[in-house]
Homo-oligomer: A and B are copies of this chain.
């Protein structure tokens, strides 16, 4: 059979899986592999400013590509450890990212000399041990006979479980030849089939409960519906059954937010009262892909008894108190839809509150959160990719309906600030590859300072995101939690509108920057067609009061304050 370099075997697999952009930073242990990447006809090397940003970018890329994965390439020790928080975030939030670390040759791995980037004590396994905590599987490529199998294993684990995996690629193996035979069979995304009898039992049980509930059933979609790729199956289910559908924050856009039977965001006691009432009073809740983290559940304030809940997950099902490990939703959902579609006439009777955001009348011209988010809502278009940073942004966007086919990215569980700068880069690249709409980022002034340099990569790659930079003089979300007037929540104010010029748009042709000080200025900008159609990258500095936050954050902050003891 044909022989290929191990490096090219890996790239061939990535190409099969739809990878067109690869993120990372060069270093002397990955330069050989980078030659192959640079010479690859369909995979583009992005080249990030630093490794954390690169990992974030791979994460954002994977989220928008769905069914695909993101890849980050780093160098031994210094590079891979710089990326680790990004990998841990992908683990936590269930995003398929492959982390490839270029490492010393197999000979050096055995001799363990005191190379640069080592800990100086001969431990060559420390980085892998650290990475293990944040990846579901890892492969340390050691020789030509196992390389292909190992590569296939970590790639399959990555895409099947939607979690990061880790691979070390020694300098010498990159150019070692192996058979290309295995490449003929593509890797599969499909989870293993459910056990038929058990699945049949589960279907009947759910059907029975639906009947008993008199069709007063609601569907609640959450993170894993997106991560484990059952959006189409969910759409079928809700359209055929006509059950009302709501979403948790992390499930936002799993269901089209303009869909007539969609009622908005349920987040425990933080929910709008009408939504809270509708969800919690339903006789049966069909929960799909639920993930009950603090910020995704209104600080654990779901008021839905287990006896009224059916939970569908990627690899298990729970009907009231009964668990069914091994029964995954990907295959269960279509069958469930078939069983239930007759209920639609009855289900239709149940009213769903309209999910709208009305721009309030306010007496002053200050840009308040209360006004800002509904106002932005009319700016969005179908297929836009909307990214919201942890802070006032990730809370503010929740109450606003997004258009049809919009993609929404936030890190509600992991919540590592600065993540959106990298992930916007990745998302914008993926959006361009897929022919989606604009990429629009909402980020706080504090968060942008963590990872700001990565804006340069957007300019380099001719991306045209619109960035709304919320300038509220520091860490406002934290001021709501603790330390309202503390200096540790202050930051240095930057000349934000000159930033893109410094970071690469030297002659001002590749970007535009604006400051908006009041409602009028912002409105005019939003209504300006040439702004909205984004011919170049744009940054809008939005001046907001230091002590203002969206409703949802204010409530969340009160709840958190009670669990965190900050003072004696």
Interface residues of A (CB under 8 A from B): 5, 26-29, 31-32, 34-35, 37-38, 45, 47, 49-50, 52, 77-78, 81-82, 84-85, 88-89, 91-94, 104-105, 108, 113-120, 123, 126-127, 129-130, 133-134, 171-172, 175, 291-295, 300, 412-418, 449-453, 456-457, 459-460, 475, 478, 481-483, 486-496, 498-499, 501-504, 506, 560, 563-568
Contact = CB atoms under 8 A, between A and B. Distances in A.
Given A5-B568, A32-B482, A84-B85, 6 more contacts: A31-B486, A78-B88, A78-B415, A88-B119, A123-B133, A493-B504
A255 B451 CA distance: 39
A283 B503 CA distance: 56
B478 A493 contact: no
A245 B123 CA distance: 32
A338 to B, nearest CB: 32
A134 to B, nearest CB: 7
Contacts of A495: 501-502, 506
Contacts of A32: 482, 564-567
Given A77-B88, A175-B567, A294 B38 contact: no
Contacts of A81: 84-85, 88, 134
Contacts of A486: 31, 34-35, 38
Contact of A116 (B37, B127, B293, B450): B293
A492 B504 contact: yes
Given A91-B119, A295-B116, A504-B493, A564 B483 contact: no
Top 6 nearest A-B pairs by Cβ distance? Answer: A78-B416, A81-B85, A32-B566, A50-B450, A31-B482, A175-B568
Nearest to A565: B172
Nearest to A505: B495
Contacts of A475: 26
B119 A494 contact: no
B294 A114 contact: yes
A252 to B, nearest CB: 16
Copies of this chain per assembly: 2
A185 to B, nearest CB: 26
A29, A114, A456 pick with most chain B CB within 10 angstroms: A114
A128 to B, nearest CB: 9
Contacts of A77: 88, 414, 416
A89 B78 contact: yes
A449 B49 contact: yes
A47 B488 contact: yes
Contact of A499 (B130, B451, B502, B565): B502
A261 to B, nearest CB: 29
Given A34-B488, A175-B565, A478-B28, A50 B413 contact: no
Nearest to A33: B566
Contacts of A133: 123, 126-127, 129-130
26 contacts: A26-B483, A28-B482, A28-B560, A31-B478, A31-B566, A34-B486, A35-B483, A45-B487, A49-B449, A49-B450, A50-B418, A81-B84, A84-B84, A91-B119, A113-B300, A115-B293, A116-B294, A116-B415, A117-B414, A118-B413, A127-B133, A130-B133, A456-B492, A460-B492, A493-B506, A498-B498
Given A414-B78, A449-B50, A126 B134 contact: yes
